[in-house]
């Protein structure tokens, strides 16, 4: 744990040395949370205190949009000035027990992206570290319906099976979208208009398919942007992680992002290229 923490801090310090960039899209900066935990144990977990002060800072620096307002603005071709959208991925139970009370306390709207297989099959967690169903359980459908009825919460699609979209054929991706929509209808939930790519991975081909079902798609940051009719299907997001406590979180939530994402992806690619090939 200590080594992982030091590695993340080194990456962030290195990224600051490379410079910093804004990450707004049509005037909207999109922030991403995953988990709330009293004792954070991974990069995807933040303490309730950290989430609270990050949300407060975002509110001070931006005009927060609801998911419905954002989706309607996309349809109308609107651009905003100094606005933000808060998103929460994966529909873990703490989205209901921990995130929702914080959002209600601050009157802060958010979009929650739901991978439907996780709720139907709790043992099929959408992230690789979620190996303990007792600790990494999803919201219940009743909890999700309560959140959907709250004007602060907009539910979005995070695929059915949490497969990376570029790895699926167009037919498989369409089937996944249809399955997700059918489950939302079965559970009496409003149809999702916004989509979040699992693990932020997208391709032009996948975006073309998803545009048949959704008005916008959210990816990782940084990444190349799509043009023309697909311009709304690759919106960058700013991830808020466990190692963003303190100065780095202050920097990100103020509207600046370091080049941490590019540095991290470059390091991963270097490690992959250096890995010896086996089985030949």
Q: What is the pLDDT of residue 261?
A: 56
Find all residues with CB under 8 Å of 198, minimum gap 6, and list them: 115, 126, 158, 159, 162, 163, 164, 165
Please give the helix or strand (H or E) that residue 64 lies within, else none. Answer: strand 63-64
Please give the helix or strand (H or E) that residue 35 lies within, else none. Answer: strand 35-36
Find all residues with CB under 8 Å of 128, minimum gap 6, and list them: none
* Neighbour count for residue 213 (Cβ, 10 Å): 19
Summarised one tens digit per residue, pLDDT across range 21-64 is: 456 789 999 999 999 988 887 888 899 999 999 999 999 999 99
Q: What is the pLDDT of residue 24?
A: 79
What does the buried/exposed string (b/e) look like for 130-141 if buried means 16 or more CB atoms within 10 Å of the residue's CB?
beeeeebbbbeb
Tokens, residue 98? 């921990």
Beta strands per DSSP E along 71-170? 83-89, 110-114, 153-157
Q: What is the pLDDT of residue 262?
A: 55
Q: What is the pLDDT of residue 33?
A: 95
Alpha carbons 68 and 77: distance in angstroms, whole number: 14
* Neighbour count for residue 260 (Cβ, 10 Å): 25
What share of residues in the chain are helix, strand, coil (percent, to 5)? Answer: 45, 15, 40
* 219 contacts 200 by C-beta, under 8 angstroms: yes
| CA 77 from centroid of its chain's CA atoms | 23
What is the rounded radius of gyration, in angstroms, for the C-alpha atoms of the chain? 18
Q: What is the pLDDT of residue 257?
A: 67
Q: Output the DSSP codes for 97-112.
A: IIIHHHHHHHT--EEE
Find all residues with CB under 8 Å of 245, minimum gap 6, and list them: 46, 47, 50
* 158 contacts 75 by C-beta, under 8 angstroms: no
Q: What is the pLDDT of residue 244?
A: 84
Please give the helix or strand (H or E) that residue 63 lies within, else none. Answer: strand 63-64
Q: What is the pLDDT of residue 224?
A: 74
Alpha carbons 75 and 77: distance in angstroms, whole number: 6
Look up the pTM and report it: 0.84
Low-confidence ranges of the chain (pLDDT < 50): 1-2, 4-5, 11, 14-21, 268, 272, 275-280
C-alpha distances (whole Å) from 53 to each of 50, 86, 253 are 5, 14, 10
């Amino acid at each position: 744990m200590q080594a992982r923490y030091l590695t993340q801090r080194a990456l962030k310090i290195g990224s600051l040395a490379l410079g910093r960039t804004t990450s707004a899209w049509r005037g909207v900066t999109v922030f991403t949370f995953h988990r709330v935990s009293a004792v954070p144990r991974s990069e995807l977990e933040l303490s309730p205190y950290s989430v609270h002060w990050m949300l407060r800072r975002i509110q001070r620096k931006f005009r927060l949009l609801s998911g419905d307002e954002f989706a309607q603005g996309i349809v109308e071709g609107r651009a905003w000035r100094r606005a933000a959208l808060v998103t929460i991925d994966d529909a873990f139970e703490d989205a209901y027990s921990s995130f929702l009370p914080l959002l209600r306390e601050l009157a802060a709207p958010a979009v929650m992206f739901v991978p439907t297989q996780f709720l139907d099959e709790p043992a099929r967690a959408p992230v690789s570290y979620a190996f303990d169903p007792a600790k990494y359980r999803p919201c219940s459908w009743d909890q999700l319906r309560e959140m959907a009825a709250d004007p602060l919460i907009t539910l979005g699609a995070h695929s059915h099976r949490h497969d990376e979209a570029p790895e699926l054929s167009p037919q498989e991706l369409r089937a996944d979208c249809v399955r997700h929509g059918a489950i939302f209808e079965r559970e009496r939930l409003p149809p999702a208009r916004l989509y979040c790519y699992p693990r932020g991975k997208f391709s032009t081909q996948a975006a073309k398919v998803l545009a048949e079902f959704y008005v916008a798609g959210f990816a990782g940051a940084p990444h190349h942007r799509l043009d023309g009719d697909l311009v709304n299907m690759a919106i960058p997001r700013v991830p808020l992680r466990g190692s963003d406590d303190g100065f780095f979180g202050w920097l990100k939530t103020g509207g600046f992002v370091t080049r941490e994402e590019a540095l991290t992806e470059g390091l991963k690619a270097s490690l992959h290229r250096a890995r010896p090939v086996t089985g030949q």
